[in-house]
């Protein structure tokens, strides 16, 4: 079961990485090119991320500029940003798109904090699903007599310890992001 434990630990690490990646796309009042990562533009029939179609710069702490490599895509990028849930109106000057990030209001901070908490809970659910799969595998192996009852209980305890460790990690990441949001 030691080998299996490594497999489940890797799955849990990937869940944490995905959670941290999702958190980086949350706009917290200052310019961050990662907020554009989930926005895709229909380019020659293929959904393409903006960062693969244009140069993204942060000229000021509260502004992003997007300069497409193909000027004909400027309008498509602008429409994709408007259609997204980014909440910022792009300004198009014919060559580049400028995004100005406004100062966060207290209500928006609370809303973002709730969003972060919900994402944290979703990440914990993902970890618990991995734990459930591992426990099901243990029960199946016990049923097939591939492990003893003591080995099953040991494995389930090890999986629970692993789950607890990564849930604490999610709590730390969530708390840090909420502090970042409230301090801006």
Average pLDDT over residues 79-92: 83
Which pLDDT belongs to residue 163?
94
Q: Identify the band that residue 27 occupies on the pLDDT scale cut at 50, 70 and 90.
A: low
Here the contacts of 80-87 (C-beta below 8 Å, separation 24 or greater) are 80/39, 80/40, 80/41, 80/42, 80/50, 81/36, 81/39, 81/50, 84/38, 84/39, 86/27, 86/35, 86/36, 86/39, 87/27
**Alpha helix stretches (DSSP H) within the chain:** 2-24, 74-83, 106-143, 149-183
Domain limits for position 132: 2-24+105-183
Q: Which of 83, 100, 117 finishes a domain?
A: 100
- In tens, the pLDDT along 150-183 reads 888 898 999 999 999 999 999 999 998 888 887 7
In our burial notation (b when 16+ CB lie closer than 10 A, e otherwise), range 134-165 reads bbebbeebbeeeebeeeebeebbebbeebbee
| Same domain for 125 and 96 | no
| Same domain for 12 and 68 | no
Average pLDDT over residues 35-39: 81
| pLDDT > 80? residue 25 | no
| pLDDT > 80? residue 31 | no
| Same domain for 111 and 94 | no
Q: Which of 43, 77, 100 finishes a domain?
A: 100
Query: What's the CA gap between 70 and 50, in Å, rounded?
Result: 12
| Same domain for 134 and 115 | yes
Phi, psi at residue 177, to the nearest 5°? -65, -40
| pLDDT > 90? residue 13 | yes
Which pLDDT belongs to residue 164?
94
CATH number at residue 95: 3.30.1360.40
| Same domain for 40 and 54 | yes
**The pTM is what?**
0.71
| pLDDT > 80? residue 83 | yes
| Same domain for 109 and 179 | yes
Phi, psi at residue 55, to the nearest 5°? -90, 130
Average pLDDT over residues 89-98: 88
| Same domain for 92 and 49 | yes
Q: How many domains does the chain have?
A: 2
Residue of higher predicted confidence among 59 and 132: 132
Average pLDDT over residues 112-132: 92
| Same domain for 110 and 94 | no
| pLDDT > 90? residue 142 | no
Name the nearest CA neighbour of 77 among 100, 101, 51, 102: 51
Residue of higher predicted confidence among 24 and 169: 169
Which pLDDT belongs to residue 17?
93
**Antiparallel, parallel or unpaired: β 63-68 and 54-60:** antiparallel
Q: Which of 63, 83, 100 finishes a domain?
A: 100
Query: What's the CA gap between 58 and 36, in Å, rounded?
Result: 12
Which of 10-14, 38-42, 83-87 is least confident?
83-87
| Same domain for 109 and 20 | yes
């Amino acid at each position: 079961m030691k080998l299996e434990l490594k497999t489940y630990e890797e799955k849990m690490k990937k869940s944490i990485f995905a959670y941290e990646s999702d958190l980086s796309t949350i706009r917290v009042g200052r310019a961050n090119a990662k907020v554009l990562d989930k926005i895709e533009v229909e380019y020659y029939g293929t959904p393409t991320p903006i960062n693969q179609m244009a140069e993204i710069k942060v000229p000021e702490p509260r502004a992003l500029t997007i300069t497409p490599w193909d000027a004909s895509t400027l309008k498509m990028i602008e429409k994709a940003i408007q259609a997204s849930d980014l909440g910022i109106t792009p300004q198009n000057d014919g060559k580049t798109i400028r995004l100005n990030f406004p100062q966060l209001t207290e209500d928006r901070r609370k809303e973002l904090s709730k969003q972060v908490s919900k994402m944290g809970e979703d990440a914990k659910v993902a970890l618990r699903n991995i734990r459930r799969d591992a426990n099901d595998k243990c029960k199946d192996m016990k049923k097939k007599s591939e492990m003893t009852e003591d080995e099953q209980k040991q494995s389930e305890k090890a999986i629970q310890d692993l789950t607890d460790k990564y849930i604490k990690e999610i709590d730390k990441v969530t708390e840090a992001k909420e502090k970042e949001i409230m301090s801006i």
